[in-house]
Structures are given as C-alpha cells and as structure tokens.
Copies of this chain bind each other. A is one copy, B any other.
C-alpha cells in the first residue's frame, strides 16, 4: 500500500493552536468494533503524523503492532513509533526527531511511572509538549491517561475504602491537564475510594474517574465524553469535613458533602465552572428534528 512505502515525506499537519486537545481514555478501548474512541483520535490526526508512544509498557512490540494495525485501518497514513527505555534514550536526537511535526501522540498503557521517570523534563518531553502547544492532540489510555495531569495517581487500593494513612501513591505527572486528577478502569476496578482519597487531600483538584472503553476529550477548558462507559467527576470544593488529619492511620476516611456527577457519551463538563451539561439523547434529537420539519405536529 502506498501509505506503507513512505516514499514521500509525510505532510506537516496544519495545526491551529486553539485546536489542541487531550484524549484521556480509561483503558481497554474498543479496537475491533465501532472503535468510537480510536476513530476520534484518527479523525483529529487526519493526514498528519501520529506517534504511538509505548514508553509505559513492558511489551512495547506487541502494543505497537496492535495499535499500528488499528490506526492504519482507521485511515491514519503516517504512523511513527516512540519507545524510550531509559532517560538517556529520551535525550537521543533520533527519538526527538520522531516527534517533529507530528499532529498527535498516543500513549499506550503500562506503568505510568515508566513514562514520567523516563521522559520527564527531557527533550522527548519537550517535543511532546510542543506538539500539544502547537495545536496537536495528546492521547493516552490507562497508564497513558493517568500521566496527563499535574499530580497523577500511581496506585492505591481498589477493593476497599480509603484509610487515613492509606496506601495511596501520587506522583508528578506530565502536567498537560492542570487542577485535575484522573483515575482509569474506574467502575471495573471499583476505584471510587482511592479517587476520593486523592481529592480529599486537596479539593482544589477535581477527581475524574474514567471507565474502560470511555474517554474524555479535553479542549478549551471543557471536556466531552465519548465511549460506552461512564465518567465520574468528584468535586470536593464544598466538602465540609474530613478526618484526614486523624492520627489513626488505619481509620477509614470520612469526607462529607462531596459533589458527584456521572457523565456518559455526549455529556460535557466545564472545568472552569465545574458544571456538567447533559447531551440531548438521540431520541430527543430525532424528535427535535422531526418537529422542526413538521412544526404543527403534536
């Protein structure tokens, strides 16, 4: 296929800074069916270059093959692979060159600390940041989702409530998405407790729990939900009480007056005002369209 020959230099995507976006995916996104989420990634990359970053994974070859096949079938002609096995590699000019002129980066799953510890503050990171600043789309699934934020969630218990001195592990993330903390595989792994634990520590941060095969598309200070699951927004701004400063580490955490929103496909959330907006259902849309055609119908 012509797209595989790469005899011509891939087109430099025409990016507009205002179009920059993040696609933050809760893991296990559909790769065989409708592929709503990966299709959105492909649509945004268009004829530009998409870099698949397998940095997080211990099986990078397998993931690269899987995503290459999928993105090609979705019409992405220009794919490049970025793997970084050490911080030294993250300063390698050839690696940095991989990113040059790209329209998007897609972080696979794995271990979020592999991403941040290996590329944090390196030329490779600067290259990714530049793509975003110039109007590109940065995407990540599972571990690749967690790294998007300033403070990221690394690990914590998924099968019990958070404890005052609980095993919640946070670390500095890539910092592309401020004032937010993301957790993935959310309903599937019962992660409400650990997300609440993170938010209660400083309710300045909005907690966003993303189900599998579900994503938020963040642009211009708001996000929209796509995919088959739900997105949970944990807003602790108006919490009135917590026992986090208790001296009993094994004590279960208390926190009162948390606001919780559950969003599904098409719903939106304004990160500045912290307000959700419901998507008119397909039915409502159909009715609405029909009514606009036949305004006298009852």
Which residues of A line the B interface, CB within 8 A? 158-162, 186-193, 196, 211, 214, 228-230, 232, 234, 241, 243, 246-248, 250-265, 267, 276, 278-279, 281-283
* Given A161-B211, A187-B190, CB of A267 within 8 Å of CB of B254: yes
* Given A190-B190, A261-B258, A263-B254, CB of A283 within 8 Å of CB of B246: yes
How far, in Å, is A49 (CB) from chain B's closest CB? 33
Q: Can you show 29 pairs from A to B with CB atoms below 8 A apart?
A: A159-B187, A159-B190, A161-B229, A161-B264, A162-B230, A187-B193, A188-B190, A189-B190, A190-B190, A190-B191, A196-B262, A228-B250, A247-B283, A248-B281, A248-B282, A251-B264, A252-B265, A253-B264, A254-B262, A254-B264, A255-B261, A256-B262, A256-B263, A256-B278, A257-B259, A258-B259, A258-B261, A259-B260, A260-B260
Find the residue from A160, A254, A265 having the highest chain B CB count within 10 A.
A254
Bound Cα distance A77, B173 (Å)? 59
Find the residue from A228, A230, A267 having the highest chain B CB count within 10 A.
A230
Closest residue of B by beta carbon distance from A269: B256
Closest residue of B by beta carbon distance from A190: B190
Closest residue of B by beta carbon distance from A160: B187
Bound Cα distance A256, B162 (Å)? 24
Closest residue of B by beta carbon distance from A211: B161
Residues of B within 8 A of A278 (CB): 241, 243, 254, 256
Pair A211/B252 contact, Cβ less than 8 Å? yes
Bound Cα distance A243, B266 (Å)? 11
Bound Cα distance A276, B262 (Å)? 22
Residues of B within 8 A of A230 (CB): 161-162, 193, 252-254
Pair A256/B281 contact, Cβ less than 8 Å? no
Q: Which of B161, B255, B259, B267 contacts A187 (CB 8 A)?
A: B161
Residues of B within 8 A of A253 (CB): 230, 262, 264
Bound Cα distance A246, B265 (Å)? 12
